[in-house]
Amino acid sequence: MKTQPIVKFHLSKLAEAYQELLKIRSSVDEHGIIAVEIFHGIEKEFKYLRELEEPSSAQVKSLEKRLIQLKHYLQQFDRYSQLSKSFFQKITSQIDSQILQSSYSYLAAKNRARQLFEDFRDGRYFDIGLQKGVDQLRHFIDLFRAKMPSLNTQVPIGDLDIFQPIRQNSDEEFDLKDYLSKQIDTSPNKISVDRIKQIKDGYYYLYSKSLAYQIQGKEHKLAKRLTLLETGLRKQNEQVIYKALRLIQQLVQPTAITSPTNYINTQQKLIKLTGISEPDSTIILRINNNRPLRVVVDQDQNFVFEDIELQFGDNTLICYNQDFLFLDNHKYHLHIHLERHYPFIGMYDPLTQKAFQENEAQIIVRCKICKNYEYDFSVEENNNRCVFPKCDGKEFWNWEDREYWSEQ
Ligand SMILES: [Zn+2]
């Protein structure tokens, strides 16, 4: 029995559905800056299937699935941009920025909105969608609005407050489309030079690992896929490169952070970050642009950073797998808010009997023996010894030491 005409018919129906999707796109994303590579990939897939003598029904089905995902993705973006438009612009024109900057729910909403925009732009999380992230944004906005009257406005997305930092750095009139076209390469069939270099570095790294296996008479699980990647890189064939990356990705445990939750408030100065990733690979963690920390993932796919030190207020933690970053170039951005918490509040200096104030951290020390707090000048007064009865401690932590802030 010949089923081929049905498949071809199905394909032509899908092409019509895609035209409908393009209409949705032009209404929710008029500049066409969202998930450009995904659209491009789908178009190539259409072209490829049309040229086939006999496209299989599985191929057509898989294309259909992607079209459905794309529709949801665009709907999620639409919801995101409606939310952002109706919130940020009006808020910044009505409420003093000082007040906004001190509102945690406002900052969380702003960070979430910025991150979501980048995710949509790069087509990230296409398979699972960004519904959850948009829900989260809604949640932060609702939290903020609980105290504010309802606000509505219609403004271009590029005018939003969340793009302020970019605007400030551009000399001319800010144009979002311009900005993004400089940031991402939207031309078809071309991966940026930096991206190619990153993929190459990733390839060499894995290749050296696989070579080490070979010498021991074993085969690295990625060996065959690396050969494909090498071919793609050598021929500079984008399709082959992306195919190889996808295939490698299937065999590598994706990196995920299990704790802490993004956008939490905490009272703890020292926290622990845990997650899962590919065994034996290296995870990098960068806190507020400090020197990066690194750990190796254990055989059970777990990794942990102990005693991460937070600053008061907002903290940005950037976490990624160094070895496999080249696969999707994705870094986790966590925003953790350390609420003001001073362990010495409510206590008194033993010598002066004065209650400690928040802003005195730099002149308060903590005894290493009895763990009590006292003014540094009280210690000086006491021949550089702890003032507490029967302690006699001679060593102290100051506000720059971790132990100074701990609860014990
Ligand atoms: Zn002491």
**Ligand 1 centroid to residue 271 C-alpha, Å:** 26
CB 288 within 8 A of CB 262: no
pLDDT of the residue at 148 = 56
- Per-residue model confidence (pLDDT) at position 42: 92
Please give the DSSP secondary-structure letter assigned to residue 351.
T
- What's residue 120's pLDDT? 93
Which positions of the chain have pLDDT values less than 50? 1-2, 149-157, 183-189
β 332-338/265-266 pair status? parallel
Say how many Å lie between the CA of residue 89 and the centre of ligand 1.
54
Q: What local confidence, expressed as pLDDT, does residue 178 receive?
A: 59
CA-closest candidate to residue 124, choices 315, 333, 337, 336: 333
pLDDT, residue 187, reads 45
> Could you give the CA distance from residue 58 to residue 322 in angstroms, rounded to a whole number?
36
Distance, CA 104 to ligand 1 centroid (Å)?
37
How far does residue 360's CA lie from ligand 1's centre (Å)? 19
Question: Which residues lie below 8 Å from residue 257, measured CB to CB, with a gap of 6+?
Answer: 273, 274, 275, 319, 332, 334
Per-residue model confidence (pLDDT) at position 149: 45
User: How many whole angstroms from 128 Cα to the centroid of ligand 1?
Assistant: 55
Distance 390 CA to ligand 1 centre (A): 8
Distance 370 CA to ligand 1 centre (A): 4
CA of 389 to the centre of ligand 1 (A): 8
Q: What DSSP string describes 139-191?
A: HHHHHHHTTS--------GGGSGGGHHHHHH-SS---HHHHHHHHS--STT--
Residue 174 pLDDT: 52
Contact 268, 336 (CB under 8 A): no
Ligand 1 centroid from CA 307, angstroms: 24
Cα of 405 to ligand 1 centre, how many Å?
16
Positions of E strands within 86-136? none
What is the reported pLDDT for 13? 86
Instruction: Return the pLDDT at 374.
Output: 95
In angstroms, what is the span from residue 371 Cα to ligand 1's centroid? 6
